[in-house]
Amino acid sequence: MDNGASSYRRFRDDGDKKGLDDIINDYCDGLMLYLTSIVGNIRTAEELAEDTFVLLGIKKPKFNGKSSFRTWLYAIGRNLAIDWLRKNSRHVSIPIEDAYGLTDDEETVEAAYIRKEEKIAVHRAMRKLKAEYQQVLWLVYFEDMSNKDAAKVMKKSVRSVEALLYRARKSLKVQLEKEGISYEKT
Amino acid sequence: MKKREEMIRDVHRRIDEYEAEHRTKSRRLTKTAFAAVPVCAAAAVGIGLWKSGAFSPAADKFSGASVETTAEVTETITAEIQTAVPTEKAVVTEAPAVTEAPTEEKSSGHLNMGDMSGAVIYNETVFLQFFPEDGAYTADAYIGNGDDLEGFYKGTGDLTRFYTAKEDAEVIVVEFTINGGKVYLKKDGISADSFRKELEKIKEMERNGAVF
């Protein structure tokens, strides 16, 4: 997997549909899990991830290479998720099965994307944190983004991402302790 | 939850649908634009004519009448010149070209009615219409209205108002109060008497049923 930029260039400039297929294959799961941290529902996140790829296909926005392709893609997805939240803020309802834990779908994606068991436990603990904490932890610890890239995706300053990350880690630690898990990031 | 292939298929389907709809819309827009062009052009011409005063009552009353008059009178005078002038000239010298005759007539103090789309007598001087650039002359002192000056505007009363021109003492500015239109008249060498004679001829033609 390259960084996605060349696949997107093939799709955008040469009309190669396979380029978009490669992007979907490479980024779909990560994007969906990231969007889940914003909208709190894997099915909605899946729809939004699909919307993100459709937007790439119809608007063909220009990727200028100022950040990594993934940072850029996640920022587009985040914008769509924020729009979705604005439109549905009065009507958001979480299915009863989603309210207390993960759905089967999310578990499947989680297992496929995260793979390491201990990280999966952390991810599940994260689900009980505030949405912003989930987002920043996901981007920095699961997507291995730098604070700068995470700041770009979340449209915040690097300083505020650092502060957010600090509070998120503290909160996650408390949550993990509650669940009897001791986890130290290496 | 969709499988990866399903998502890829759905993404492409939605993109294709969007593009098809987009193409239909732009085709419809192009068709509408082509249909609208003649209508817009006609509207533009209509507005242009309306703005230029072509539909105003004043335009019917003055411009139309003077154009008709010009045509009729030109024919009459040209016919007279063609019959009279060559005979006189033939006695003196070689017959000049018939086309030169009107110029000689004019310079010898006779009126060439072809120039008289607008004409008045002011202070026993004949002023004939000419066509300077717009705004070349500005109205200065009020001379009188359509009833005050002999000529083509006689009887129009306050619908026409005459002014001297600020820029040239030999120019009269005629203002049409009904639509703000302006006509410019310039001092001409022809005598007031010969102009009056021509006016008489026109009146006689009118009395005989000619419509100008």
Query: The complex's ipTM?
Result: 0.75
For B12-36, how does the pLDDT look when each residue is reduced to its tens digit (9 = 90+)?
A: 999 999 999 988 888 888 878 777 7
Could you tell me which CATH number the domain at A116-186 has?
A: 1.10.10.10
In the prediction, which pLDDT does B209 show?
Answer: 64
Residue of B1, B7, B19 lying closest to A24 (CB–CB): B7
Rounded mean pLDDT of B99-112? 42
Q: Determine the Cα–Cα distance for residues A105 and A111; give it in Å rounded to an integer.
A: 10
Selected for mutation to probe chain B from A55, A58, A73, A106 (highest B CB count within 10 Å) is A58
Could you tell me if B153 and B78 lie in one domain? yes
Tokens of B113: 């009615």
Choose among A28, A42, A105: nearest Cβ to B7.
Answer: A28
| Beta-carbon count within 10 A of A87 CB | 10
Residues B155 and B172 in one domain: yes
> Chain A residue with minimal CA distance to B1?
A105
Both B27 and B78 in one domain: the answer is no
Percentage of chain A modeled with pLDDT above 90: 37
Residues of B with CB under 8 A from a CB of A: 1-2, 4, 7-8, 10-12, 14-15, 18-19
pLDDT at A93: 54
Q: What angle do CA B68, B72, B75 make, to 5 degrees?
A: 145
Every domain of chain A and the residues it spans: 1-115, 116-186
pLDDT at B64 over 80: no
| Closest residue of chain B to A27, computed from CA coordinates | B4
B122 shares its domain with B142: yes
Q: Which of A24, A42, A108 sits opposite B11 (nearest CB)?
A: A24
Instruction: Give the Cβ contact number of residue A47 at 10 Å.
Output: 17
C-alpha B66 chain-centroid distance = 10
pLDDT at B98 over 60: no
pTM of the model: 0.50
Residue B210: predicted pLDDT: 59
How near does any CA of chain A get to the CA of B2, in Å? 8
* Nearest alpha carbon to residue A1 among A17, A33, A23: A23
pLDDT score recorded for residue B59: 53
Expressed as residue numbers, the domain containing B14 is: 1-51
Dump pLDDT digits (tens) for B167-179.
998 999 988 888 8
Question: Is B212 inside any structural domain?
Answer: no
Element (DSSP H or E) covering residue B186? strand B182-191
Each residue's pLDDT tens digit, A53-107: 999 999 999 998 888 999 999 999 999 999 998 888 765 555 544 444 556 666 6
pLDDT tens readout for residues B123-169: 889 988 888 887 789 999 999 988 888 888 888 888 889 999 999 98
What is the Cα–Cα distance from B191 to B125, expressed in whole angstroms? 7
B31 and B72 in one domain?
A: no
Give yes or no: residues B129 and B112 share one domain: yes
Rounded Cα–Cα distance for residues B184 and B163 (Å): 10
Average pLDDT, chain B: 73
Query: Which of B157, B199, B165 lies closest to B182, judged by CA?
Result: B165
- Fold entry, domain A1-115: Rna Polymerase Sigma Factor; Chain: A (1.10.1740)
